[in-house]
Structure 1
Amino acid sequence: MSVPSALARREDLAGARRVVVKVGSSSLTTAAGGLDASRLDALVDVLARRRVGGGDVVLVSSGAIAAGLAPLGLTKRPRDLASQQAAASVGQGLLLAEYARAFAHAGLTVGQVLLTAEDVVRRTHYGNAQRTLERLLTLGVVPVVNENDTVATHEIRFGDNDRLAALVAHLVRADALVLLSDVDALHTAPPSTPGARRIPLVRGPEDLDAVTVGAAGAAGVGTGGMTTKVEAAGIAVSAGVPTLLTSAALAEEALAGQDVGTWFSVPASRRARRSTRQLWLAHAAAPAGRLVLDDGAVKAVRGNRSSLLPAGVVGLAGRFRAGDPVDLVDGNGHAVARGLVNYSSEELPEMLGRSTRELARQWGAAYEREVVHRDHLVLLGR
């Protein structure tokens, strides 16, 4: 499968082959928490025209928990996990039914894809997700992606799906990511501030040095805010996917390449896209623990991009299984890298500081391997 080159300009959005569009809860629901059919229909009309016109569209939609509030008699998003999961269980079906109804008017079928953080970390999981999404698109289906809030635990606060949308954009090799909320663009200050100006273009982090970024809105139906959207745009751009941030009301103008919202461009140096494994380890993996490295191991991992061997590990923290993501930290606790560990937290203590040859002699050939292989490791902080 070919990997598209990054769009150089927002105007190129009009002819983009494949886009991922993320919409937030506040753009789909009423103040009371129920779905607003008129707002949902307006968005679907725009996306359906794009799909019928030959473009691939993947919709990452928040709103399941928000849609479940009114039927459960709740006035705002609950704080406890069990109630959030209950609301998601009720709301997810309602949300998908509304999308199925609205897209059916254009003769289009939707397919539900529910993901958790683990689905974008573990190799077999993300491979399955990638194949499923690609097949849905080939069949002309509009995938509707959401985090699987009903079963997620700490991942339920994944950034109001903004970060998930950035990862999905990389997963499906999208030409661009469009983040829709109830704010028309990123501004130099909160939009209500006198003198606040729209920022039309962000070419790098330095363009945001003097910008005040707001948190979630006051409606109480979502978890995101402008902060999570800027972070998501940064993830997407680091993966070679340009991103447009604007309001759901301007979705049509955005997809037509008009001068709306804030365009996060991809520097020429990043137009060669990172591997899926590296991107997900860096941005999607919630580390299950930490491995403390000695100075030699830090140098080998960071400077030589070597695998991490048991001899270079001097301590560990957390509980993890083989295959879980863990942070590799130096003696000062600074994260150097993140990777998929080959041993559990129960196995590792007796291995620390020992050579693989010694371990193999004592326990067998299965222990003559790395703690973290370099192919399953990504450097952090650069």
Structure 2
Amino acid sequence: MRVSSANSATRTAVASARSIVVKIGSAALTSLTGGLDTDRLDRLADALETRMRAGSDVVVVSSGAIGAGLAPLGLSQRPRDLATKQAAASVGQLALAHAWGTSFARYGRVVGQVLLSADDFARREHHRNAQRTLDRLRALGAVAVVNENDTVATEEIRFGDNDRLAALVSHLVGADALVLLSDVDGLYDGDPRRGDAQRIREVAVDADLSSITVGAGGVLGTGGMISKLSAARLAAAAGVPVLLAAAQAADQALGAAQVGTAFAAGSERMSARRFWVRHAADSRGALVLDAGAVAAIARRRRSLLAAGITAVRGDFNGGDVVDLVGPDEVVVARGIVEYDSAELADMLGRSTGDLPEGLRRAVVHADDLVGLSAAR
């Protein structure tokens, strides 16, 4: 693992970012006994306001809907069954949105609530609609507060935690940086409760973190260090620098950014279309490739032609995202397919010159293809 203890260009990039997504964890806003803590929320809003007055455009990804609904419903612990979680979210979401609106109203700001589900990222048109909504809210001077739509999400189609949602939103809005604020003050090389663990200040984009031991989420949240680390690496690898810090240090995190752990961004920003293909879209099927086709798309970044396809799996349409599978059954890439599955059945293994004139374009164009061995 390559890390650096010196002040870095990554922290400078976070501190000077003109557009920033800030994710706030449940534990920073709620408690099991008191529900939503408006004093803590106000202090976070103060720090966000200071950053906005300094010239930054801020989108907030706020957890806490389920936690905010526990006390009003007389629940003493976070529910495990889906129906009770959704019931708590339906109560808590109102309280959470009202609290953010009231807090920012102190500064004359309007808050717009944006509830997103995994399906909104999986479907290209929904993805674009979410992007347009967030862009318009920001253009109108409103503070966009984003949360997962817990009242309708099922276990099968949810993000799993708001850390991943924040990473997706950071790319959706073209943010210059992502700040993850929660009850942890950074990434450690071991369990910080043991007393001998050291906080890692900087993580390089290609750092090997396989030796780092991280824990699961707390009682109020669904995330934990595992989800934060995953979200940070996802955003950073796609070109967005990330700062992981404690919500109690929000002033410093949104100021000079000299707290927490900074994750360096990849050298090349992934396009919105390629990011969607790789991280957000649902795969509707699969194409099985021969070894030559795998080499062409994975190593030489060529378009996929019919000649290299040996089998078609699933029922999909042109424009859907499909997995590209090698002879060893390993998924090597994802891409937007140009043909329906029924059309491809008659094209397998045939050279371009042997196909009818209307079927001679690439099956998956190189511009719509993303390898899964590295974020590009």
What TM-score results when the alignment is normalised by the length of structure 2? 0.86
Which residues of structure 2 form unaligned runs of 5+? 1-7
Structure 1, 144-153 or 342-351: larger mean CA deviation = 342-351
User: Tell me, what secondary structure is at the counterpart of 1:133?
Assistant: helix
| 1: CA distance, partners of 2:62 / 2:36 | 12
Deviation at 1:280, TM superposition (A): 2.3
| 1: CA distance, partners of 2:342 / 2:70 | 42
Deviation at 1:146, TM superposition (A): 1.6
Q: 1:27 to 1:57 in 2, by over 3 A?
A: same
| 1: CA distance, partners of 2:296 / 2:164 | 31
Deviation at 1:371, TM superposition (A): 3.7
Residues 104-119 of structure 1: pairs in structure 2 closer than 5 A: 104-119=105-120
| 2: CA distance, partners of 1:10 / 1:276 | 24
Aligned equivalent of 1:273, options 269, 285, 289: 269
| 2: CA distance, partners of 1:319 / 1:224 | 34
Question: Residue 305 in 1 paired to residue 297 in 2?
Answer: no
Deviation at 1:312, TM superposition (A): 2.9
Match of 2:229 in 1: 230
| 2: CA distance, partners of 1:68 / 1:360 | 60
Instruction: Please tell me whether the aligned partners of residues 10 and 263 of structure 2 are also in contact (alpha carbons under 8 angstroms).
Output: no
Match of 1:4 in 2: none
Residues 132-143 of structure 1: pairs in structure 2 closer than 5 A: 132-143=133-144
Deviation at 1:255, TM superposition (A): 1.1
| 1: CA distance, partners of 2:170 / 2:268 | 15
User: Tell me, what secondary structure is at the counterpart of 1:183?
Assistant: coil
Match of 2:248 in 1: 249
Residues 96-245 of structure 1: pairs in structure 2 closer than 5 A: 96-154=97-155, 156-206=157-207, 208-217=209-218, 219=219, 221-245=220-244
Letter in 1 for 2:235: A
Question: Residue 260 in 1 paired to residue 259 in 2?
Answer: yes
User: Tell me, what secondary structure is at the counterpart of 2:9?
Assistant: coil
Deviation at 1:18, TM superposition (A): 1.9
Deviation at 1:9, TM superposition (A): 3.9
Deviation at 1:173, TM superposition (A): 2.4
What is the CA deviation profile of residues 184-215 of structure 1, one whole-angstrom value per residue up to 9, with x for unaligned ones?
Answer: 11111121013011111112343634321222
| 1: CA distance, partners of 2:188 / 2:77 | 27
Match of 1:293 in 2: 289
Question: Residue 340 in 1 paired to residue 336 in 2?
Answer: yes
Deviation at 1:60, TM superposition (A): 0.9
User: Tell me, what secondary structure is at the counterpart of 2:364?
Assistant: coil
| 2: CA distance, partners of 1:33 / 1:333 | 51
Match of 1:377 in 2: 369
What is the CA deviation profile of residues 7-63 of structure 1, one whole-angstrom value per residue up to 9, with x for unaligned ones?
Answer: 924245444322110011222111248322222222112112222343211101122
Deviation at 1:356, TM superposition (A): 6.7
User: Tell me, what secondary structure is at the counterpart of 2:112?
Assistant: strand
| 2: CA distance, partners of 1:121 / 1:308 | 23
Question: Residue 27 in 1 paired to residue 7 in 2?
Answer: no
What TM-score results when the alignment is normalised by the length of structure 1? 0.85
User: Tell me, what secondary structure is at the counterpart of 1:304?
Assistant: coil
User: Tell me, what secondary structure is at the counterpart of 1:50?
Assistant: helix
Tell me the percent identity. Answer: 57
User: Tell me, what secondary structure is at the counterpart of 2:293?
Assistant: helix
Structure 1, 34-43 or 301-310: larger mean CA deviation = 301-310
Deviation at 1:140, TM superposition (A): 1.6
Structure 1, 329-338 or 199-208: larger mean CA deviation = 199-208
Letter in 1 for 2:255: A
User: Tell me, what secondary structure is at the counterpart of 1:140?
Assistant: coil
Instruction: Please tell me whether the aligned partners of residues 360 and 368 of structure 1 are also in contact (alpha carbons under 8 angstroms).
Output: yes
Match of 1:331 in 2: 327
Structure 1, 165-174 or 137-146: larger mean CA deviation = 165-174
What is the CA deviation profile of residues 236-292 of structure 1, one whole-angstrom value per residue up to 9, with x for unaligned ones?
Answer: 2122211110111111111111531111123xxx33311111122222234343322
| 1: CA distance, partners of 2:248 / 2:199 | 16
| 2: CA distance, partners of 1:207 / 1:352 | 39
Deviation at 1:65, TM superposition (A): 2.9
**Cα RMSD after superposing both structures:** 2.8
Q: 1:16 to 1:33 in 2, by over 3 A?
A: same
Structure 1, 201-210 or 227-236: larger mean CA deviation = 201-210
Deviation at 1:306, TM superposition (A): 2.9
Deviation at 1:354, TM superposition (A): 5.0
Which residues of structure 1 form unaligned runs of 5+? 1-6
User: Tell me, what secondary structure is at the counterpart of 1:251?
Assistant: helix
